[in-house]
Chains A and B, each alone.
Chain A
Amino acid sequence: MTEDTSSQGRPRASAREVFGERAAYYVTSTAHTDAQVLGRLVDLSGLSPDMSVLDIGTGTGHTALALAPHAGTVIGLDPTPEMLAEAEALRRERGYDNVSWMLGDVADLPWAANSFHVVACRRAAHHFLDIERALGEMCRVLRRGGRLMIDDRTVPNDPDLDVLLNQLDWLHDHSHVRDYSADEWRALCERAGLHVERVEGYTRHRHLSSLTEGVSTEDVAEIRRLLAALSPEQEGQLGLERRADGLWFDHYYLILSARRIS
């Protein structure tokens, strides 16, 4: 496995390796088919049938296919061929002929400037090795006035929880880079030439297994150790519950919409 040790001393696997192995799991993962979140993205997109959409890190295509009935054309981009094979199977099942897929990297997007009315990126930005470059590319391919929509895991403005939640996400998935706070997202967007219209935070209360499924025994042990070491105050912040079937706690997310102004 290719490893990058530049990230706070933790070895990092490439997203392509991790998601090649997990492609079939992501088709049915509850968090990733969340109809409410997809519906909110559709509402915020302001799409009309003459508009073009680029969905970055499309994975198995859930976001691209949710936007498809409201748009003219949709392209889903992902670096992992196994994910796009699943996306194509879903596309055929749902019968959308205005959606196509491409293999590519957010750091080097294969489009001319000013190409898309909407760029969406759902549950993927925390994998990007260089978030500023990624946002620069997303902004470049957006038309002036075009809209960027991000949905991703996030962290509250609390330094200890920030470190903890990012550690948990790295243990869950070694291609994890960083969950950014809402304030970080605002600053990143503004530096990229985007005007942030809206940031909506939300949480999902989930069983521990949502983090530990498919994870090595050592990493599961470390996840359990980190959760056992939480202070009562932190347990409260995470809504941690000890139920008969195990630990449940809140995962933080945000949806952001921004428009290209420059």
Chain B
Amino acid sequence: MLSEELLAILACPACKTAVILKQDRWLICQNPSCGRKYPIKDGIPVMLIEEGDKYVNVSEEDLAALDV
């Protein structure tokens, strides 16, 4: 699992804005004009821009229902 220390330096690979952890399953870019969301799969954050692109238009509330 991601430690506080690692989370503090993690950033969106596209815009380099800080990300926050949601439900231990998503890392969400805090830049409102970016909106990329990165899933954690099998305990490994998928910090690829093309992965973040997939969820730009998914609201944070709807992420929980997604099976990724």
Question: A: which residues have CB within 8 A of B?
Answer: 52, 73, 75, 79, 81, 84-85, 88, 100-105, 108-113, 115-116
Measured between beta carbons, the chain A residues less than 8 angstroms from B41 are: 81
* Residue B62 is within 8 A (CB to CB) of chain A in the complex: no
B1-46 CB contacts (< 8 Å) to partner A: 2-3, 5-6, 9-14, 16, 18-19, 38, 41-46
**How many chain B residues touch the partner (CB < 8 A)?**
24
CA distance in complex: A214, B68 (Å): 32
The listed residue (B9, B12, B16, B46) touching A103 by CB distance below 8 A is B46
* With known contacts A85-B42, A110-B12, A103–B6 Cβ distance under 8 A: no
Contact assessment for A108 and B49 in the assembled complex, using a CB-CB cutoff below 8 Å: yes
Q: How many A-B residue pairs have CB under 8 A?
A: 54
User: Would you give the shortest CB distance from B14 to chain A, in whole angstroms?
Assistant: 7
| Option from A52, A103, A105 in Cβ contact (under 8 Å) with B45 | A103
Contact across chains for B47 and A103 when beta carbons are under 8 A apart: yes
Contact call B45/A102, Cβ cutoff below 8 A: yes
Question: Using Cβ atoms and an 8 Å threshold, which residues of chain A touch B16?
Answer: 112-113
Is A110 within 8 A of B6, CB to CB? no
